[in-house]
Structure 1
């Protein structure tokens, strides 16, 4: 009996101890959870502080990037205008990416910590800012030189040789096209405007009439104007010439009427721009009368052409 009584008492005393132990375990677990959620450990505090700093630096760099992007867009626009004024092609694309260098850069960046990446980004952006500043000053100086030299500007072809405000009269661009007579692809050295006979033809810059061609040549009746600065312009397949060799002309003067003379598939004007004895794309020389949007449009029209008219 005594043994049974002792066993019963032992069981009754064990249950409270078990409950008390469970309560303590629950309290300890609760405190641990509270500390884990609401209290930063030193390492976590350091990490959180580092993250906050990185966020602040990122926001500052993001604002700086937007600023540099605006500067770059402005420089690219000025670059296009200057290049189209002076050269026969568009400028180098500043957005072009060297994929090989990009791959090597990615490999290099993979092993960097966040702090190192932010430092690298900040350094690169400062370098870009310095480069953009030099570009901007260079373009400002170049623009001033161009605008101050009015004589040079007057002698650079800068308008279309006909009235083509709607941009609908351009029929063939400067590129390899199907020749209408030989039915094979041949290099087309200028641009063709599909216009009725008798349409007024304008000198596209100040200059001197260098030569006149007669009806017998493949170009038919044609005019070459020497602008005295390495530039010449040629106008072919005319019906009537209104100038003489040696005459001085100004931009916008009517020098001829269009026609269908020479080796011509249909009434049209064949127009060329020559710079230092090399035929260049005349479309790059319409900057005085075309907006950037109109330039893109007429460039696409030229690229979509398939056949020349001479």
Structure 2
């Protein structure tokens, strides 16, 4: 029951009923409604930001976020596997391929270097899962750079391999006269007795004794530089420039089968044994030059003789006997 209020009127000496003004009642009602609206709005906002009140859209977004976290987790596991495989390739690259081809290893600082300067991931900051996204993005970038470095390294190794094949083909690696055609290894590399003066002097090659007309073979790939008799003492001779610092000389030939400027392959017949020039008997005088210096040809016969044959030839070549030229 609504309370009725009174006031004392001093003129009439009586109590009179207080009638509320309509404006004040309307103000009270308006204030109440406004307060209720504000409180309701605040409560709604609070409820929206609690886990106890989710809209269908919120639940969908939550599922999408969880799904993305799972995908990032799987991506990071795959990158772990890629890291492991790439580390194995890098290990073989540095410690096998580059050592074999005599080139310097790529340091880890170069392979795994980050990206300095401007913050590349600034646009990814400020989100609930920024750390996960940024770390994954960094890993992808570093892996991409490592793959680029490794790819370039393998391109370099391929180029070195091609050059290595050329080098291996150019090295004078076989005997210039086959064993079945040999009478003897008449003289080796080093100091020997001169057949004409009987004075001990340095013999710069090896003498292979064989009958006139025995085939002589190019010991490595190269280009014929000379095929003439202009060099004193060598008679008819051939010089082959193999590249990589190697040259070979074949002296005292009876005749040529090649000409200057011609490309030859290892095993090609280039001429025939003779006794032209300063020679005591039919034989081939054979020299190997490396970077302008004469070297012992005995060190290069690994291409077409067995270990036993090498030992036998080595014993003969190392005897201080008389040379044939």
Q: TM-score, normalised on structure 1?
A: 0.52
**Deviations for 1:73-129, whole angstroms, at most 9, x for unmatched residues?**
xxxxxxxxxxxxxxxxxxxxxxxxxxxxxxxxxxxxxxxxxxxxxxxxxxxxxxxxx
User: Which residue of the partner structure matches residue 36 of structure 2?
Assistant: none
Identify which of structures 1 and 2 has the higher relative contact order when contacts are C-alpha pairs closer than 8 Å and 6+ apart: 1
CA distance in 2, matches of 1:266, 1:309: 7
Structure 1 counterpart of 2:266, from 251, 257, 282? 251
Structure 2 counterpart of 1:178, from 184, 193, 210? 193
User: Which residue of the partner structure matches residue 206 of structure 1?
Assistant: 221
Distance 1:288 1:235, change over 3 A: same
CA distance in 2, matches of 1:185, 1:179: 6
4+ aligned runs moved over 6 Å, structure 1: 137-140, 143-148
CA distance in 2, matches of 1:229, 1:220: 27
Distance 1:206 1:198, change over 3 A: same
CA distance in 2, matches of 1:236, 1:263: 10
Structure 2 counterpart of 1:157, from 172, 195, 200? 172
CA distance in 2, matches of 1:215, 1:199: 22
Q: Note the C-alpha offset of 1:150.
A: 1.2
Structure 2 counterpart of 1:264, from 260, 279, 286? 279
CA distance in 1, matches of 2:231, 2:243: 28
Distance 1:154 1:259, change over 3 A: same
Contact 2:191–2:203 (CA under 8 A) maintained in structure 1:
yes
Q: Note the C-alpha offset of 1:304.
A: 1.8
Structure 2 counterpart of 1:142, from 100, 109, 125? 100
**For residues 121-132 of structure 1, what are the structure 2 equivalents within 5 Å?**
none
Q: Note the C-alpha offset of 1:292.
A: 3.0
Contact 2:193–2:321 (CA under 8 A) maintained in structure 1:
yes
Matching of residue 169 in structure 1 with residue 127 in structure 2: no
CA distance in 2, matches of 1:192, 1:305: 13
Matching of residue 301 in structure 1 with residue 259 in structure 2: no
Alignment length (residue pairs) = 174
Matching of residue 191 in structure 1 with residue 206 in structure 2: yes
Contact 1:236–1:270 (CA under 8 A) maintained in structure 2:
yes
Compare the two structures and name the one with the higher helix fraction.
1
Contact 2:182–2:208 (CA under 8 A) maintained in structure 1:
no
Unaligned runs of 5+ in 1: 1-136
Unaligned runs of 5+ in 2: 1-94, 103-156
Q: Note the C-alpha offset of 1:151.
A: 1.1
**Deviations for 1:215-234, whole angstroms, at most 9, x for unmatched residues?**
78311000000001100000
Q: Note the C-alpha offset of 1:159.
A: 0.2
Contact 2:193–2:322 (CA under 8 A) maintained in structure 1:
yes
Matching of residue 230 in structure 1 with residue 245 in structure 2: yes
CA distance in 2, matches of 1:168, 1:261: 18
CA distance in 2, matches of 1:251, 1:242: 14
Contact 1:161–1:203 (CA under 8 A) maintained in structure 2:
yes
CA distance in 1, matches of 2:230, 2:284: 14
Contact 1:215–1:262 (CA under 8 A) maintained in structure 2:
no
Contact 1:147–1:153 (CA under 8 A) maintained in structure 2:
no
Contact 1:220–1:261 (CA under 8 A) maintained in structure 2:
yes
Instruction: Please report the RMSD computed on the Cα atoms of aligned residues, expressed in angstroms.
Output: 2.5
Distance 1:197 1:158, change over 3 A: same
CA distance in 2, matches of 1:261, 1:167: 18
